[in-house]
Amino acid sequence: MNHKLPQSAGEKHVTLRSYITGFILSLATTLAAYVVVTNQTYSKNGIIAVVAVLAVSQFVVQMLFFMHLGQEKNPRWKLLALLFMMGVVFIVVVGSLWIMKHLDYNMMSPKQMQHYMDSQDGL
Amino acid sequence: MSMELTDKPLITQKAHYQQVAEADHSKTLVGFWVYLMTDCVLFASLFAVFAVLRNNTNGGPGGPELFNLPFVLVETIILLTSSFVCGLVLLAAQRKARSYVVAGLLIIFLLGLSFMALELTEFSHLVHEGNSWRESGFLSAFFTLVGTHGLHITVGLLWMVVMIVQIVRKGLTDPVLRRLSLFAMFWHFLDVVWIFIFSLVYLLGSMS
């Protein structure tokens, strides 16, 4: 028996180059995010946006170069499971933040309410 | 299926069994992938808890005072390097280079161990300074999220010990190779989760 077991569903072209590319790109995005936060050159919202974009791009890089998601053959069950997971994650995270924001708003103490109204320049 | 096979020449049978073995192998990998996706949902719920409680410091110190970014950057690079070495181990396993596989696993083990040592140092430092998980909602959420990741890393370390023993005793047989590729997926996955802990919890949490 000298057949090679494929690494994952339908993967045939896993190479050293793909791991090295993935490693360098991941290092670059990690260091870039670190520098952006420690240097504080952008505004707060700017930093949040840049760090989020860098995190998502490193996620994509590792999925492609370490997990070889792009080389999966049809039917692409792994991609499908990943997309479903991302949908659930989106609902859980965004939903929690949304609900808690409304709870915060609706359950303010009188003192917080006063502060909120002052800050909104009302009454 | 096996009835049809008896009429075919031996070489076709062999090819057929090979196909069946490969199909089983990829089924196992897809099944494990689905487990990893459910684990992502677990982490997502902990991320959501952290995001909701991030400002509930109960009058105590928050992220900007507590997080030591250079320290966490070292942790991140250690984990990323171990994930990269894990890929190299898989390549060596495909070439059946047994000693390289064992050496690579030992390197990943040491990197994982030093990651855990750094994380536990950070935790004990926080607790000694009077910032344990009991102090505020923010700290409870922080310790739960980062601790759950650390628990996964610890399980990975145990798994690596088992893999090394199996490779030394059984060699790189097909079942061992399959377990090795499952382990590699698990280890890459833990690094993917860490990207978000590093970016969202530490980097963004350290801004005032």
> Residue B40 and residue A89: Cβ atoms within 8 Å?
yes
- Give yes or no for residue A121 having a pLDDT over 90: no
* pTM, rounded to two decimals: 0.85
Of A73, A91, A107, which residue is a domain's last?
A73
The residue of chain A nearest to residue B96, with distances taken between CA atoms, is A4
Residues of A in contact with B25 (CB under 8 A): 5-6
The answer on A64 and A34 residing in a single domain is: yes
pLDDT for the residue numbered B125: 92
Residues of B in contact with A82 (CB under 8 A): 37
The answer on A78 and A67 residing in a single domain is: no
The answer on A103 and A50 residing in a single domain is: no
**Spatial distance between the Cα atoms of B8 and A38, rounded to a whole number of angstroms:** 68
Mutate to test the interface with B, among A12, A44, A53, A67 (most CBs of B within 10 A): A67
Share of chain A above pLDDT 70, in %: 88
Distance from CA of B138 to the nearest CA of A (A): 15
Domain count, chain A: 2
> Residue B83 and residue A66: Cβ atoms within 8 Å?
yes
Residue with tokens 């031996």: B10
The answer on A68 and A78 residing in a single domain is: no
Distance from CA of A53 to the nearest CA of B (A): 10
- Give yes or no for residue A11 having a pLDDT over 50: no
The answer on A44 and A2 residing in a single domain is: yes
pLDDT for the residue numbered A3: 46
The answer on A92 and A43 residing in a single domain is: no
Q: Which of A6, A14, A77 sits opposite B25 (nearest CB)?
A: A6
**Residue B205 banded pLDDT, cuts 50, 70, 90:** confident
The residue of chain B nearest to residue A61, with distances taken between CA atoms, is B192
**Residue A8 banded pLDDT, cuts 50, 70, 90:** very low
The answer on A5 and A64 residing in a single domain is: yes
The answer on A11 and A65 residing in a single domain is: yes
Helix axes B137-170, B174-196, angle to 10 degrees: 160
**Residue B8 banded pLDDT, cuts 50, 70, 90:** low
The answer on A89 and A64 residing in a single domain is: no
Mutate to test the interface with A, among B195, B201, B207, B208 (most CBs of A within 10 A): B195
**Residue B7 banded pLDDT, cuts 50, 70, 90:** low
Residue with tokens 């090979």: B18
Task: Sketch out chain B's domains with CATH numbers.
Answer: 24-206 (1.20.120.80)
A121 token code pair: 């320049």
- More confident call, A99 vs B18: A99
Range of the domain at A32: 1-73
**Residue B11 banded pLDDT, cuts 50, 70, 90:** low
pLDDT in tens, B21-35: 777 777 888 899 999
Residues of A in contact with B38 (CB under 8 A): 85
The answer on A90 and A63 residing in a single domain is: no
pLDDT in tens, B35-62: 999 999 999 999 999 999 988 888 878 8
**Spatial distance between the Cα atoms of B24 and B15, rounded to a whole number of angstroms:** 14
Lowest mean pLDDT among A14-18, A19-23, B118-122, B170-174: A14-18
Share of chain B above pLDDT 70, in %: 91
Q: Which of B29, B37, B88 sits opposite A82 (nearest CB)?
A: B37
Residue with tokens 């010990």: B161
pLDDT for the residue numbered A41: 77
The answer on A97 and A69 residing in a single domain is: no
Q: What is the mean pLDDT of residues A55-69?
A: 91
**Spatial distance between the Cα atoms of A49 and B59, rounded to a whole number of angstroms:** 28
pLDDT for the residue numbered B186: 95
- Give yes or no for residue B145 having a pLDDT over 90: yes
Complex-level ipTM: 0.82
- Give yes or no for residue B18 having a pLDDT over 80: no
Distance from CA of A22 to the nearest CA of B (A): 8
> Residue A59 and residue B21: Cβ atoms within 8 Å?
no
**Spatial distance between the Cα atoms of A57 and A64, rounded to a whole number of angstroms:** 11
pLDDT in tens, A84-93: 999 999 999 9
**Residue A4 banded pLDDT, cuts 50, 70, 90:** very low
Q: Which of B12, B9, B10, B30 is CA-nearest to residue B181?
A: B30
The answer on A88 and A55 residing in a single domain is: no
pLDDT for the residue numbered B115: 95
